[in-house]
Chain A
Amino acid sequence: MTLLQLQSVDAAPWGDPVLTDISLGLAPGEVMGLIGTNGAGKSSLLRLLAGDFAATSGSVLFAGRALESWPRQQLAQQRAFLPQLSLLNFPYTVEEVVLLGRTPHSTGLRADQDIVRQVLRATDTLSLRNRLYTQLSGGERQRVQLARVLAQLWHPDDMRGTLLLLDEPTAALDLAHQQQLAATIAGIAARGCAVILVVHDVNLAASVSHRLLVLDRGQAVASGSPDTVLTPALFRELFHAEVLVQPHPNGRQPLVIGL
């Protein structure tokens, strides 16, 4: 069963087309990495799936139902989006920010605080819990926002039917926290949460994704497992970059080395 099904989707939210003829399917628990040059349409695809704008043609089905016909609150219980930038500049505490992720649910403060504690631990922000968000560093803020969207979908055992959209979640993270994010994504995917993420580090993308989708000027130009997609030819054509692609010492993924 597919959770998300896009069929020949075009989108032109500001007049010019940003996405052209995109088709894809995503199963529960599947992790898809979006790669491509700046302006290729990666964020636009995420924002389309987040409902920020509608497709001009084609269909977007979420759990078998047209995305725009979902009741607002029910959709918010099953789909969360982490944007690139956060606008928050009010002095909420970290815990308050993450609690906002529980807005679509009516599970009560006690249960919500329990979930918040789990996602704070998963993002290594538990020690920041009582700090003011406005006084955090960029990387700390990014982890707190990640905790917020995780809290929106979190369930300790079963997260089937949920979709998490992450736009460059690692942009401000140090190496240790990038690895922690990869582990967190693997953890929620194992519980059935489908994840689509934009990552510029292709090796990181390869390590967290079951499947990669390569976008160029709004079109899907390649799709498949990391070892079939990440070839020297792709990097030459798309990024005008010479790379060496070798098997990773961990034996599970390709390793791309810039030359």
Chain B
Amino acid sequence: MITNVIDRRRRAQRLLLLLVVTLPLAMLLALGTGAVHIAPADTLAVLLGGDRGQATLIVQQIRLPRVLLAGIIGATLAMSGAAMQGLFRNPLADPSLIGVTAGASLGASVLIVAGGSSLSGLAGLSLVSLGAFAGGVLAVLLVYRLASSENGTSVATMLLAGIAITALAGAAGSLLEFFTDNERLRQISLWKMGGLDGANLPRLLLASVVAGAVLLALPRYALPLNTLLLGESEARHLGIPVNRTKLALIGWVAVGVGTSVALVGTIAFVGLVVPHIVRLLIGPDHRTLLPASALAGAILLVCADALSRIVLAPTELPVGIITALIGVPFFISLLRQRHQYGMQT
């Protein structure tokens, strides 16, 4: 495969433009999709302030917060995944590698078992969400501590510590599930599958602020990430403050993914597959990879959520099932062609 630097950058810009145009269209279609179908023209009219009776209520009260939340969460997961793949120098890395997902699941399970799902939390957020966020961030702190010594933080150790903490959190979670009653077991299981049905204004606001900060912060590390692909020492020799960069990346990803898991549960494969596909299309330059992954992740989750509302309407499927069902076959087909794209793993 022959690729000119300038051509590659032009292709990246074209993809970015295409994604920027596609995202609002996907959102418009998603707003009209569900148990009650609303034509795009009517949706648009409602968004522009017109009154379409029942449609106005559905779009404004129910679907708009949900579609926006899906976009924000999808963007955060995909951009976090791209950053983790760069940091771990592994195109198959995933935000869950640093323990955040397992920690959040355990945090949520603890609070569900303790009866937290019946208690109301702060500002429209359930206690379970807060528990999940705390669990996710605590797990990452633990992983980071385990991998850090006076010589700095070893990315390889962090990977192994992440596996260990994930296993530990999984075991603790299983123990809780083993001793709890059937009702709570089902709540835990539903929570883990993930879903955007709990979207409301407070959640949307929280997601916008936190994930917005993450989405603005991560691209500032695009150049350091580019050099980190060469190796940590090589990045240091190129003048990059490597330890500070690692800490910042881990911190932002923990906050972003922790928030996402707390608000919508675990959503598989967006953080793994989206950056992977975008990299195959435009190459590993993080200056374009990070924003393009965010946009593509937003589009994927908006569409997957819309699908989850119609495949078995009026029953809603957990969105995590849809993303995995779309993601896994796609991913396997990519793995089978990996040499064609210059991938070595």
Contact = CB atoms under 8 A, between A and B. Distances in A.
A83 interface: yes
A193 interface: no
B170 interface: no
B: interface residue count bin: 20 to 34
A103 B5 contact: no
Nearest to A47: B233
A135 B341 CA distance: 9
Contact of A50 (B91, B233, B284, B344): B233
Residue among B5, B223, B237, B345 having the largest count of chain A Cβ atoms under 10 Å:
B237
A90 B91 contact: yes
A51 B236 contact: yes
B8 to A, nearest CB: 7
A95 B227 CA distance: 14
B2 A131 contact: yes
A195 to B, nearest CB: 15
Nearest to B341: A91
A52 interface: yes
A80 B250 CA distance: 28
Main secondary structure of the interface of A (DSSP, over half): mixed
B231 A88 contact: yes
A211 B285 CA distance: 41
Residue among A77, A86, A100, A104 having the largest count of chain B Cβ atoms under 10 Å:
A100
Nearest to A149: B237
B233 A103 contact: no
B53 interface: no
B114 to A, nearest CB: 44
Interface in A57-89: 72-77, 79-81, 83, 86-89
A165 to B, nearest CB: 9
Given A51-B236, A100-B238, A93 B3 contact: yes
A91 B343 contact: yes
A113 B5 CA distance: 10
A130 B3 contact: yes
Interface string A147-187: 01000100000000000000000000000000000000000
Contacts of A79: 237
Contacts of A113: 5
A100 B231 CA distance: 12
A80 B235 CA distance: 11
Interface string B267-300: 0000000000001000111000000000000000
Contacts of A81: 233, 237
Contacts of A97: 230
B283 A93 contact: yes
Given A89-B345, A91-B342, A130-B2, A75 B239 contact: yes
Interface in B294-345: 341-345
B226 interface: yes
B229 interface: yes
A235 interface: no
Nearest to A77: B239
A90 B238 contact: no
A103 B227 contact: yes
Given A130-B2, A134-B344, A83 B233 contact: yes
Given A72-B241, A73-B239, A132 B1 contact: yes
B4 A100 contact: no
B229 A76 contact: no
Interface in B13-43: none
A132 B3 contact: yes
A130 B4 contact: yes
Nearest to B234: A83
Nearest to A79: B237
B240 interface: yes
A134 to B, nearest CB: 4
Interface in B229-267: 229-231, 233-234, 236-241
A179 to B, nearest CB: 27
| Among all A-B residue pairs, the 9 with the closest Cβ atoms | A76-B239, A91-B342, A132-B342, A134-B342, A73-B239, A87-B231, A104-B239, A90-B284, A103-B238
22 contacts: A50-B237, A72-B241, A79-B237, A86-B230, A86-B231, A90-B89, A90-B279, A91-B283, A91-B343, A92-B229, A92-B283, A92-B285, A96-B8, A96-B285, A99-B5, A100-B226, A101-B238, A103-B239, A103-B240, A130-B4, A132-B1, A132-B3
Given A96-B285, A103-B238, A132-B3, 17 more contacts: A81-B233, A83-B233, A83-B234, A86-B231, A87-B89, A88-B230, A90-B89, A90-B91, A90-B284, A91-B279, A99-B5, A103-B227, A103-B240, A113-B5, A133-B342, A134-B342, A148-B230
Interface of B: 1-5, 8, 89, 91, 223, 226-227, 229-231, 233-234, 236-241, 279, 283-285, 341-345
